[in-house]
Amino acid sequence: MIKKGYSAEEVRAGVLKWFSFVNPTGFSGKDCYIGNCEKPFNKDGCGGMDPKRLRW
């Protein structure tokens, strides 16, 4: 992992900006819990992310 020196607040602001860009109408927050990961961002989905392939 490459460290860039961003604060938590800067990362949070960047994430919120990205969310606004990919889905200007906002997310319901429930699709990830009901298996709609394959739906595109603009349809309240996760853009095709596969939970089995995510790394933490």
- Looking at the chain, the whole-number percentage of residues with pLDDT higher than 70 is 79
- pTM listed for this prediction: 0.55
DSSP annotation string for 1-56: -------HHHHHHHHHHHHHHH-TT---S-GGGTT-TTS-GGGTS-SS--GGG---
Would you kindly state where each structural domain of the chain is located, as residue ranges?
27-56
pLDDT in tens, 12-39: 999 889 888 887 887 777 766 777 777 7
